[in-house]
Chains A and B, each alone.
Chain A
Amino acid sequence: MIEPDETRGAEAARDAVTGERAGRRRRRRGRGEQPMVPDAAFSSYYGRPVLNEPTWRALDIAGYLYLGGLAGASSLLAAGAEATGRPALGRPAKLGAAGAISLSLAALVHDLGRPARFLNMLRVFKPTSPMSVGSWLLAGYAPLTVAAAAADVAGRYRLPGSAATAAAAVLGPAVATYTAVLVADTAVPSWHEGYRELPFVFAGSGATAAAGLALVAAPVGEAGPARRMAVLGAALELGAFQVMKRRMGLAAEPFEQGRAHRLLRVAEVLTSGGAALAALSGRPRDRRSAAVAGAALLGGSAALRFAVFHAGVASARDPKYTVVPQRERLRARSADG
């Protein structure tokens, strides 16, 4: 099927000599960016993508990834706060987890082509489908976060509330990292090729987001664990991302171009800056710098998820990222004999 904007790209390609053995690329927006790898000559069908690009909407699905990370890591903070007697840290963490996971479910349902059939997600349990596993995970996790938050706000049902908080903390890390499998389990080059490191990136990104929320909402005196979580999370997120890009080969290129590139820069600045500020905000017990650090961390984590989303879409759109690595794989295999 041809979308109107695709047709325009194809018309430009028509002027090329028939049989020209090189990929015809779409015009690249964002001037002045150097590709990391020199353009490889490759064949394609009129420059059209090999893959069908994801139909997911950026706000829904990148938002879903982000909110899942925020919720999962917040549940850890909530349980830790409960165990160490920090009620003023526990409350925003519990509310944050419940709120974020509810919003993320709303985003998921909103993105369905048939929202009314949302419950079909629970029709079967399929270990081969990360979305099925995730749906069951959320079906268990979301009620726990809501119960934990409700018990806290009501100030009653202490024991069930604590149990729910603890149980949510057990599932939380899985909620924060399974989304990496969700996007990696596709043919999209810039998602799939990162499948080893992406869960660590998302774990770190979830930690910085949850820490950010706690820094904004909890009093400085109780936010010590959030400050340390911010620093550790930022290190994990940014470190794992560097390793990932180095291992991805050509599929790392979309992270260095266009919108994904800009978002990534924003994420790096906000996350590292936010973490540094968070570390400092503990000393003079400065409420305001803690809030600024928290906001930066929340924003940085979101920017990272959107960057990952857009890089994947860009890599699906350009046949280069599908064809060239596969060609190289074939060449290497035939060289091995």
Chain B
Amino acid sequence: MSGREDPGHLLYGPQPDVAGAAGYPDAPPRVGFFTDTSVCIGCKACEVACKEWNAVPEDGLRLTGMSYDNTGGLGADTWRHVAFIEQRKPLGGQEPGVWHENAENAEDTDVFAAAARLGTDAAPGPGTTTPPPDRAPEGTPAGQISPVAPDGRTELRWLMSSDVCKHCTHAACLDVCPTGALFRTEFGTVVVQEDVCNGCGYCVPACPYGVIDQRRDDGRAWKCTLCYDRLGAGMEPACAKACPTDSIQFGPLAELRERAAARVARLHAAGVTDARLYGESPDDGVGGDGAFFLLLDEPEVYGLPPDPVVTTRDLPGMWRHAALAAVSLAALAVGGFVRRPR
């Protein structure tokens, strides 16, 4: 597909030139996020950076009891959301009690000294995450932190994942928006124009990921803009900038996809067979996500739909059925009249 001439507005399927299809003849490369949840530490720097930069209002100060997650899910006032999942499944040999010998008198514990010792001790103690050199699993250089539990211990696996708007290739929110408030940017992202949105709320149930939502007090719909203002100035989005582990990576989508494939291959080689990409395939139900993920479990465990499909894929069929039904209704009325008048 040339993409440049008239890529047309497709409702479904791979679309290699989203910006071109949206009417940008000389668009910059499509950008997005690759969120590698295998290195997320749950610090929520992304949530905070997003709120700060975009001036997103407070989204409720409540304790949910859902591990360390107190934001719950994406919404009008939560554009990045870090999910926390606690599982009994081995991963990375997280062991409770590491360096906590002095837990009763915690002030005695010098965390900086402890951190400095990590990985430098000649013979790692029983509580460290570093396997002894002779027991390092296949494919893992000895002496480095391994993603595989050295002794198969299974206390806890703690999954963390920073969720965000997927900036879908075929974005249902954008398709159904009657005012044109939601639009495709030259970067291939999906953004709401707050001065146009009339708060009809149609985008909210249209999104297959439960991302966009209406702010009750101001009535309009809000979601991640992929920091449209920062992109324009050549800066990366605030969340990616703030992420200390590079769990959130920003860049041209093509490059991110390559990087992600390599990362999965590396994790698989290291024995993390759970690792999988989510939303990166242009063949999926939304034509691929602009923001995709590396997950360590099924998507639904993270609150993500396992096989989302953009609702407008079926729109031609819906209009056809509605037209047929309209004709039936007219025929039904005519049927009421043509009978010999009583």
Contacts and interface: CB of A to CB of B under 8 A. Distances in A.
Interface stretch (B122-130, B194-202, B260-268): B194-202
Nearest to B172: A187
Interface stretch (B27-35, B95-103, B131-139, B304-312): B304-312
Contacts, number: 308
B311 A187 contact: yes
Contact of B321 (A112, A174, A199): A199
B205 A129 contact: no
Given A177-B329, A326-B308, A124 B179 contact: yes
Contacts of B86: 18-19
A82 to B, nearest CB: 11
B329 A121 contact: no
Interface string A193-210: 001111110111011000
A200 B178 contact: no
A185 B176 contact: yes
Given A2-B64, A10-B64, A177-B322, A18 B200 contact: no
A123 B179 contact: yes
Nearest to B64: A10
Contact of A77 (B301, B326, B333): B333
B176 to A, nearest CB: 5
A168 interface: no
B104 interface: no
Interface string B191-234: 00000111111101111111111110011110000000000000
Given A18-B86, A121-B200, A199-B325, A48 B73 contact: yes
Nearest to B163: A45
Interface string B301-342: 111111110011011011101111111111011111101011
Contacts of A174: 322-323, 326
B326 A111 contact: no
Contact of B176 (A123, A131, A200): A131
A127 B312 CA distance: 11
B333 A229 contact: yes
A177 B306 contact: no
B66 interface: yes
A329 B336 contact: no
Contact of A51 (B205, B221, B325): B205
Q: Chain B: interface residue count, which band?
A: 35 or more
A337 B317 CA distance: 27
A132 to B, nearest CB: 4
Contacts of A114: 197-199, 219-220
Interface in B291-305: 297-298, 300-305
Contacts of A6: 72
B235 to A, nearest CB: 27
Interface string A308-331: 000010001001001100110110
Contacts of A55: 201, 204, 213-214
A305 interface: no
Interface stretch (A141-149, A220-228, A295-303): A220-228
Interface string B65-89: 1100111111111100001011111
B70 to A, nearest CB: 8
Contact of A200 (B88, B318, B325, B339): B325
B175 interface: yes
Nearest to A18: B86
Given A200-B325, A224-B339, A113 B205 contact: no
B76 A120 contact: no
A95 interface: no
* Residue among A14, A129, A177 with most chain B CB within 10 A: A129
B180 interface: yes
A181 interface: yes
Interface string A22-47: 00000000000000000000111110
A2 B88 contact: no
B336 A323 contact: no
B310 to A, nearest CB: 9
Q: Which of B198, B219, B339 has the most CB of A within 10 A?
A: B198
Contacts of A124: 178-180
Interface in B6-28: 9, 11
Contacts of B73: 1-2, 45, 48-49, 52
Nearest to B161: A45
A1 B77 contact: yes
B202 to A, nearest CB: 5
A77 B140 CA distance: 78
A330 B78 CA distance: 30
A232 B331 CA distance: 10
B325 A180 contact: yes
A195 B312 CA distance: 11
Given A19-B87, A73-B333, A195-B314, A323 B306 contact: yes
A226 B298 contact: no
A90 B330 CA distance: 16
A202 B325 contact: yes
Interface string B153-168: 0001100000000000
Interface in B261-285: none
B196 A14 contact: no
Count chain B CB atoms within 10 A of each CB in A2, A42, A80, A316 and give the residue with the most. Answer: A2
Given A112-B198, A131-B178, A135-B178, 16 more contacts: A2-B64, A2-B73, A19-B157, A51-B205, A52-B75, A80-B337, A113-B197, A113-B199, A180-B322, A184-B314, A186-B202, A186-B311, A195-B321, A196-B321, A199-B322, A329-B307
8 contacts: A45-B302, A51-B208, A53-B204, A114-B219, A126-B177, A128-B315, A177-B323, A200-B328
Interface of B: 9, 11, 59-60, 62, 64-66, 69-78, 83, 85-89, 156-157, 172, 175-181, 196-202, 204-215, 218-221, 297-298, 300-308, 311-312, 314-315, 317-319, 321-330, 332-337, 339, 341-342
A-B pairs with lowest CB-CB distance, top 7: A113-B199, A113-B219, A45-B303, A19-B87, A1-B75, A199-B325, A117-B198
